[in-house]
Structure 1
Amino acid sequence: MAENNSTDFGYKTVPTSEKAGMVAGVFHSVAAKYDLMNDLMSMGIHRLWKRFTIDLSGVRPGQKVLDLAGGTGDLAAKFARIVGDNGEVVLADINDSMLNVGKEKLRNLGIVGNVRFVQANAECLPFPDNHFDLITIAFGLRNVTDKAAALKSMQRVLKPGGRLLVLEFSKPQNMLLTQAYDIYSFKVLPAMGKLVAGDSESYQYLAESIRMHPDQETLKSMMFDAGFDEVEYHNLTGGIVALHRGFKF
Structure 2
Amino acid sequence: MSDSSNDLPDKSNPVAKSVTANGHIQDKLIKDSIANSQDISAKAQARNSAINATLETPAANDFTQAKDLPVGTPQGQQTIAPTDSAAHSSNDSADNSKGETTASDKAAAVKAALFHERDDINNPHTPDTDGEEKTHFGYKTVNKAEKQARVADVFTSVAKKYDIMNDLMSFGIHRLWKRYAISLSGVRAGQHVLDIAGGTGDLAKVFSREVGKNGHVVLSDINAAMLEVGRERLINAGCNNVDFILANAETLAPFEDNSFDLVTISFGLRNVTDKDAALRAMHRVLKPGGRLLILEFSKPIFEPLSKAYDLYSFTALPLMGKLVANDSESYKYLAESIRMHPDQQTLKQMMEEAGFENCDFNNLTAGIVAVHRGFKA
CA apart distance, 1:109: 1.3
Counterpart of 2:174? 46
1:48-63 correspondence to structure 2 within 5 Å: 48-63=176-191
Q: Percent of counterpart pairs with the same letter?
A: 69
- Whole-Å separation in 1 of the counterparts to 2:173 and 2:238: 25
Instruction: Report SS of the residue matched to 1:142.
Output: helix
Residues 132 and 143, structure 2, Cα contact 8 Å, conserved in 1: no
Aligned mate of 2:369, from 222, 241, 249 = 241
Instruction: Report SS of the residue matched to 2:366.
Output: helix
Task: Figure out how many residues of one structure are paired with residues of the other and give that number.
Answer: 246
Counterpart of 2:257? 129
Query: Is 1:180 paired with 2:308?
Result: yes
Counterpart of 1:76? 204
- Whole-Å separation in 1 of the counterparts to 2:274 and 2:145: 11
Aligned mate of 2:342, from 214, 225, 237 = 214
What do residues 4-51 of structure 1 show as CA deviations (whole Å, max 9, x unaligned)? 711000000001001000000000000000000000000000000000
Counterpart of 2:225? 97
Query: Is 1:199 paired with 2:340?
Result: no
The letter for the 2-side match of 1:122 is A
1:15-26 correspondence to structure 2 within 5 Å: 15-26=143-154
What do residues 187-240 of structure 1 show as CA deviations (whole Å, max 9, x unaligned)? 000000000000000000000000000000000000000000000000000000
Instruction: Report SS of the residue matched to 1:36.
Output: helix
The letter for the 2-side match of 1:238 is A
- Whole-Å separation in 2 of the counterparts to 1:96 and 1:162: 28
Structure 2 unaligned spans of 5+: 1-130
- Whole-Å separation in 2 of the counterparts to 1:10 and 1:224: 25
Structure 1 unaligned spans of 5+: none
Large movers: runs of 4+ above 2 Å? none
What do residues 89-139 of structure 1 show as CA deviations (whole Å, max 9, x unaligned)? 000000000000001111221212x10000000011021101100000000
Aligned mate of 1:166, from 294, 299, 311 = 294
Instruction: Report SS of the residue matched to 1:238.
Output: coil
Counterpart of 2:194? 66
Aligned mate of 2:247, from 111, 115, 120 = 120
> Which of the pair has more CA radius of gyration?
2
- Whole-Å separation in 1 of the counterparts to 2:182 and 2:141: 35
The letter for the 1-side match of 2:258 is N
CA RMSD of aligned residues (A): 0.9
Instruction: Report SS of the residue matched to 1:130.
Output: coil
The letter for the 2-side match of 1:213 is H
Counterpart of 1:107? 235
TM-score normalized by structure 1? 0.98
- Whole-Å separation in 1 of the counterparts to 2:297 and 2:183: 19
Query: Is 1:154 paired with 2:246?
Result: no
The letter for the 2-side match of 1:138 is S
More strand by share: 1
What do residues 165-204 of structure 1 show as CA deviations (whole Å, max 9, x unaligned)? 0000000001100000000000000000000000000000
- Whole-Å separation in 1 of the counterparts to 2:278 and 2:330: 23
The letter for the 2-side match of 1:145 is T
- Whole-Å separation in 2 of the counterparts to 1:4 and 1:218: 26
- Whole-Å separation in 2 of the counterparts to 1:85 and 1:17: 41
Instruction: Report SS of the residue matched to 2:213.
Output: coil
The letter for the 2-side match of 1:150 is A
- Whole-Å separation in 2 of the counterparts to 1:35 and 1:73: 10
The letter for the 2-side match of 1:243 is V
